Structure 1
Amino acid sequence: MTSTDRRLLLVHAHPDDEAIGNGATMAKYVARGDRVTLVTCTAGEEGEILLPEIEHLAADREDSLGPHRVEELAAAMKALGVTDHRFLGGPGHFRDSGMKWADDGSATAADETRPDTFWHADLTVAADLLVEIIRETRPQVLVTYDQFGGYGHPDHVQAHRVATYATSLAAVRSYRPELGEAWDIPKVYWSAMSKSQMAEGIRKLREAGDETTFEGWDPDNLPWGATDDELDAKVVADEFADAKMDAMKAHASQIAVDGPFFALSNNAGSQVWGTEFYRLAKGQRGPVGPDGLEEDLFAGL
């Protein structure tokens, strides 16, 4: 398979999710000539605004954060070199559902959620929009969240459900042929945070004298993430860590430049964010490296 034959599709919930979880992977694959398509399911209208100068855009004030985050996403994609990025149904078609923090430290649905949010979207209606994109782009690899959405956010959970259902429907020859010719995606991955990698980064911060970043997080008992035996693949893209950082900086309304992501990068080395991990949810594992992990999401294809 040549580089021009390789096609990767990523399905994310909000602008900024893609840069945090898969920014280095996206930049690496674009640089080697692969086609990378990003689908974002909401415009992130309910996001918590970190910049005082745009606080008026908040959902409980002007409620115009969505268009601003659309622009941030465009800037982030420019930093990563991704030219094909879309919103499911178009910008604002599905509204950000918001969230609240549960007692166990995970995210969960807010007490009150608007009826036009992604969380309340009809699964088949949302999946059909993605089916059409799958059949158009015909990816060999799809990346999305696990069934918990990584940490419980309802839009992440819904993105997982929509991507999973759309993957199945897109492969059925007789299902809605007007949406394009059927396509069966060979490999599906769930993006994963490596607990051991995260623990190593936190320990390095503590060794450097930083006790405030990730305050309260026990490296030996992290609230989210995948253990080493749950991981199937990793993409080592240290040379694209700076591009990932630039993409994250583009999401300035949501990610503080002096916050934990950048502190970990600056104090523990950008390689912490240049390697990204995955769990294989569909398809056969390809050749693996010395640590038993695939080193390319297209391995074996």
Structure 2
Amino acid sequence: MPTIVYVHAHPDDEASQTSGSMARAAAEGHRVVVVFATNGDHGELALDLADGETVADRRRREAQASANVLGVARVEWLGYADSGMNGWEQNHHPGAFLQADLDEAARRLARILDDEAADVVVGYDWHGGYGHPDHVKVHQLVHRATSLSVARARVLESTFNRDVLRRMYDAAVAAGEAAANWDPDAPMDDGNPLGTPEAEIHLQVDVTDYLPQRRASMEAHRSQATDIEGFLGMPEDVFAAFFGTEHYVEPGREPGMRRGWFFDD
């Protein structure tokens, strides 16, 4: 069975972005590996940290708990510090992922791809979905590592379907369930709109059957309360609509979005 390596910037990114396909792949017997570029040390500070426990310690434990509920076979860490958002002073920290030499980081990832004889590697779209500097660098990292790897894995890029999000939001506003104060086409952290237009997306994956695993994966990352509580506080039907599908760009593929699975063709 094929091996899929998912590369994420921070622990909890897997929960919100690719946990459905991770759970589906594992359930179908594929080997699933997740690699985190950073330790997430600039995430939210849990109020119940034990004496001597750091944010990075907690997030490692949460990442492993998430992996356990998704059926992930291996969790790896590239060893870089979280770079923070655009413009933060942490961007310039010598140990930050943003400051890492791309070839050095790519060699670390390539060793994992080759060790696993990876068939598929999943990263992010060209601007990391919303412009976070660590996400953008993951995009660069995956492509560089694939070029260095003997495995030459097929590359898929996780993204947000901007048109679907717009339709969902407009429907919520029309139903009186949301205020008309959000624009998915507005500039995000790097000045670009959120995600990718549907016309530039190649694959929509139905992960409706794996929503319980998606929810459990998010539950595992409770220390990141702002985002996670927002997701878990959604009504069931909204959660299902928002997280029941995942979207991927496949570089080099002919335009046109199909609905299916990684291995349909």
Using the size of structure 2 for normalisation, the TM-score is 0.87
User: What residue is the counterpart of 1:241 in the other structure?
Assistant: 211
User: What residue is the counterpart of 2:70 in the other structure?
Assistant: 80
2:177 to 205, 210, 213: 210
* CA–CA distance in structure 1, aligned partners of residues 108 and 240 of structure 2: 36
2:251 match: secondary structure: strand
The structural deviation recorded for 1:19 is 1.1
The structural deviation recorded for 1:255 is 3.9
Using the size of structure 1 for normalisation, the TM-score is 0.77
* CA–CA distance in structure 1, aligned partners of residues 130 and 220 of structure 2: 23
User: What residue is the counterpart of 1:16 in the other structure?
Assistant: 12
The structural deviation recorded for 1:262 is 2.9
The structural deviation recorded for 1:225 is 1.6
| Structure 2: unaligned runs, 5 residues or longer | 188-192
The structural deviation recorded for 1:140 is 1.7
Question: Are 2:107 and 1:142 equivalent residues in the alignment?
Answer: no
* CA–CA distance in structure 1, aligned partners of residues 81 and 227 of structure 2: 26
1:69 to 59, 69, 73: 59
What amino acid sits opposite 1:146 in the alignment?
A: D
Q: 1:264 to 1:231 in 2, by over 3 A?
A: farther
2:105 match: secondary structure: helix
Is contact 1:205–1:268 with CA below 8 Å preserved after alignment?
no
Larger Rg: 1
- How many pairs does the alignment contain? 259
Question: Are 2:102 and 1:123 equivalent residues in the alignment?
Answer: yes
What's the CA shift string for 1:195-229, capped at 9, x where partnerless? 122223324443554336xx731367683021110
Question: Are 2:159 and 1:192 equivalent residues in the alignment?
Answer: yes
Is contact 1:248–1:255 with CA below 8 Å preserved after alignment?
no
* CA–CA distance in structure 2, aligned partners of residues 204 and 80 of structure 1: 31
Is contact 1:234–1:276 with CA below 8 Å preserved after alignment?
yes
What amino acid sits opposite 1:98 in the alignment?
A: G
* 1:216-231 superposed matches below 5 A: 216-218=181-183, 223-231=193-201
User: What residue is the counterpart of 2:80 in the other structure?
Assistant: 94
User: What residue is the counterpart of 1:161 in the other structure?
Assistant: 140
User: Percent same amino acid among aligned pairs?
Assistant: 31
Question: Are 2:43 and 1:47 equivalent residues in the alignment?
Answer: yes
| Structure 1: unaligned runs, 5 residues or longer | 100-107, 171-181
* CA–CA distance in structure 2, aligned partners of residues 121 and 134 of structure 1: 19
User: What residue is the counterpart of 2:88 in the other structure?
Assistant: 110
- Alignment RMSD, CA only? 2.6
What amino acid sits opposite 1:95 in the alignment?
A: A
Q: Which moved more, 1:149-158 or 1:62-71?
A: 62-71
User: What residue is the counterpart of 1:32 in the other structure?
Assistant: 28
The structural deviation recorded for 1:23 is 0.6
What's the CA shift string for 1:122-149, capped at 9, x where partnerless? 1121111111111111122111012211
2:183 match: secondary structure: coil
What amino acid sits opposite 1:239 in the alignment?
A: D
